[in-house]
A and B are shown apart, each in its own frame.
Chain A
Amino acid sequence: MMTDAKTLAYINMYAVLGTLENLCELDKEASELVKTKKPVSIGLEVKGGPSATLTFLNGRCRMEQGTADCDFLLPFSTPEKFNAMVDGTGSALPSKGFSKVFFLLKKFIPLTDILSKYLRPTEEDLKDDKFFEISTKLMFYVITVALSQIGNNDEIGKFSASLIPDGIIDVSIKDCVSATIQVKDSHMITIKEKPEAFRSQMQFCDIRTARALFDGKINAIASIGEGKVEMHGLINMIDNVNRILDRVALYLA
């Protein structure tokens, strides 16, 4: 099935680059790299697409929508150019804040390299338990945020989202990591924390199962039968989320 560049730009912005927030929390090297005394903020603006600002302070990273208050701005004239930058096949030049080029080249780009290492790991890397855990948690965040972006932007994803009843879906890896997916009038928002209450829940029984599913090494339906993936509550919410999940794999392939 077709994918579209604009939806991919939303995924790249909020699901992939947005995961820098979590990377800085989970990986010490990443946190050290962006340990600044004064905040530095990078605006990313895609014409006809998403725009967001990443702010770095004290080894932490935070993403907010819009670029109004950024120190320097990376503008992209098309979603394709932005996607190429994220993919490592294109580059970007700041339109303001040239004095921050050092941060861009020496901090931001190496930081995204660390993220790539976790999101596209080698089999060897995954043998390290700590690496495995961080990599899987980051993948979990990328996937759960991408779900909402596809549900809000991709044509087929929007159809799936239109069939999700309003409410909160809890997506979790048991005793590990959770995300809240809020659905209201077919619009989806992912919040990277566990909800207090939910209308439906999809829970992976452990991190190994989650990883195997993310990597396509085990079958999701069989895993439900084996009790490795549990569903509770209003299952038609999860049913339609799973339709979108199919497209997540397509976009992130």
Chain B
Amino acid sequence: MSFPVYNTEKSREMFSRATKVIPSGIYGHLGPAEGQFIPVSKWPMFAEKAKGTYVWDVDGNKYIDYMCAYGPNVLGYCDPDVDAAAAKQTALGNCTTQPGKVMVECAELLVDTVATADWAFFAKNGNDATQGAIMCARAYTHRKKVIMFSGYYHGVSPWCQKIDYPGVLPEDVANNIMLPWNDIPLLERTIEENKNEIACLIAQPYDHGNFHDNAFPEEGFWPKVREICTKNDIVLIVDDVRAGFRLDLAGSDHFFGFEADLICFCKALANGYNMSAICGKEFLKGAMSSLAYTGSYWLSAVPFAACIANINKMKALDIPTMFKQKGEKLCNGLVKAGKEHGIDLVVSGAPALFYLRIGNDDSMLLHQEWIAEMVSRGIFLASHHNHFINASLSDKDIKRTIEIGEECFGIVAKNHPELFR
């Protein structure tokens, strides 16, 4: 079977319009530069509509979307239950002078759901949550330094960018200490060398950075980190913005067998409705209260209603188990399809957030070629980033993905007879 190759001409036209009035046309991770649209001609740039696991671009092409808006799509785009809850709240009020009672109900649900949560604090984006968590830790400890692990991504505030990024000052990152994963002796030595100066350790639950195979920490790593942080009065923050709820509805710290002091959520929290949250332990509630930290839309009611409906549905569906099964089925099928053509597809990370790489070369060139062929046949993947499973992804979608995957592996193999005979 041969799958047709899409034309994305209207996306190009729209992008040309965009560059005239928007810096970079599409900035950030959704854009062609950061999103690694290689080659750009194969990729859709603008969506017309979305439903379930599908996105239709402005040229009318339909995609099975494995990026899920980089995470927020957890149940499926335009989920009827979440949208109904949001619509009901919209009719009652959204951005009002007094927050809706739904905010309290949402906080109560998070406290009941997230293992480490004694309270919940709300904001809008993942970066708001990580920024708030760092401020809370500094307010509580009266210390300034922050430990992070290599491959980190904690948002776009200057402190969590790097010294060589445009607009970032050396002073912005002067209190950051970057350490490798799994090196407990180095962590202990670093803490000793910075005695009483480290406010917090912030980390994603596992290394799900870009451009490299994703990896879980070694057995016993997290409990040991927990022990060291407790011993040294260092606030332990889990940045669960990306992985949150996809591994464990009680939080990814719960999945790895420890308790964070603060945990940050965003993407899967409200199925695309705009909110983020910090959940924390009782002893940090006062410090969190002390912060001058808020925003015009942070307590808007509609996302809270969406969040409640979303969490309840994720619980009912047992999302972590479902995502593990779907992720494994998909990845196993793709690996097998690759083997048919002598292509070694390497899968890493949690199945719910699978990361792919063709292992036959170390340059990603083959992988980018395969990804581009997939995208241009309606399977939206990324070449540099982990992917996301959503609940609307059906067995039929997985089957189609594997079939297109096999065809595209064949194209790559045919393009490189010197590598694949």
User: Residues of A at under 8 Å CB distance from B?
Assistant: 1, 156-157, 159-160, 163, 167, 198-200, 219, 221-222, 224-227, 230-236, 240, 243-244, 246-247
- A226 near B365 with CB under 8 A, answer no
Q: B165: which A residues are within 8 A, CB to CB?
A: 243
- A234 near B39 with CB under 8 A, answer no
State in angstroms the CA–CA spacing of A247 and B15 once bound together.
28
State in angstroms the CA–CA spacing of A243 and B164 once bound together.
6
Chain B's closest residue to A231 (CB) is B38
- A225 near B363 with CB under 8 A, answer no
- B164 near A219 with CB under 8 A, answer no
Q: Does B325 contact A (CB under 8 A)?
A: no
Q: A234: which B residues are within 8 A, CB to CB?
A: 211, 362-364
Known contacts A225-B40, A226-B16, A226-B19; A159/B164 CB under 8 A: yes
Q: B19: which A residues are within 8 A, CB to CB?
A: 219, 222, 225-226
- B211 near A224 with CB under 8 A, answer no
Q: How far is the CB of B159 from chain A (nearest CB, A)?
A: 16
Q: Does B157 contact A (CB under 8 A)?
A: no
Known contacts A230-B39, A235-B36; A221/B27 CB under 8 A: yes
| Cβ 8 A contact of B365, one of A227, A233, A246, A247 | A233
Q: B170: which A residues are within 8 A, CB to CB?
A: 156
State in angstroms the CA–CA spacing of A233 and B31 once bound together.
18
| Cβ 8 A contact of B33, one of A156, A163, A221 | A221
- B38 near A232 with CB under 8 A, answer yes
State in angstroms the CA–CA spacing of A51 and B407 once bound together.
56
- A225 near B24 with CB under 8 A, answer yes
- A219 near B163 with CB under 8 A, answer no
| Cβ 8 A contact of B26, one of A157, A225, A240, A247 | A225
- A225 near B164 with CB under 8 A, answer no
State in angstroms the CA–CA spacing of A123 and B2 once bound together.
53
Q: How large is the interface on B (under 10, 10 to 19, 20 to 34, 35 or more residues)?
A: 20 to 34
- A225 near B210 with CB under 8 A, answer no
Interface centre among A1, A227, A230, A235 (most CB of B within 10 A): A235
State in angstroms the CA–CA spacing of A89 and B170 once bound together.
31
Interface secondary structure of B, over-half rule: loop
User: Residues of B at under 8 Å CB distance from A?
Assistant: 15-16, 19, 23-27, 31-33, 36-41, 45, 162-166, 169-170, 210-211, 362-365, 368, 384
- B164 near A156 with CB under 8 A, answer yes
Q: How far is the CB of A183 from chain B (nearest CB, A)?
A: 13
Q: A199: which B residues are within 8 A, CB to CB?
A: 362-363
A-B contact pairs, 11 of them (CB 8 A): A156-B163, A199-B362, A219-B24, A225-B45, A226-B25, A227-B39, A230-B39, A231-B38, A234-B362, A244-B164, A246-B164
- A224 near B40 with CB under 8 A, answer yes
Further 20 A-B residue pairs, CB within 8 A, beyond A159-B164, A221-B24, A230-B38: A159-B163, A160-B164, A167-B363, A200-B363, A219-B24, A221-B27, A221-B33, A222-B24, A224-B33, A225-B24, A225-B25, A225-B33, A226-B40, A227-B39, A230-B39, A231-B36, A232-B38, A232-B365, A234-B362, A236-B211
Interface centre among B39, B363, B384 (most CB of A within 10 A): B363
Q: A222: which B residues are within 8 A, CB to CB?
A: 19, 23-25
- A232 near B32 with CB under 8 A, answer no
**The 10 A-B residue pairs with the shortest CB-CB distance in the complex, in nearest-first order:** A221-B24, A225-B32, A243-B164, A224-B33, A222-B19, A233-B363, A236-B211, A160-B164, A199-B363, A221-B33
Chain B's closest residue to A197 (CB) is B363
Q: B363: which A residues are within 8 A, CB to CB?
A: 167, 198-200, 233-234
Q: B210: which A residues are within 8 A, CB to CB?
A: 236
State in angstroms the CA–CA spacing of A163 and B163 once bound together.
12
Q: B16: which A residues are within 8 A, CB to CB?
A: 226
State in angstroms the CA–CA spacing of A232 and B368 once bound together.
8
State in angstroms the CA–CA spacing of A224 and B32 once bound together.
7
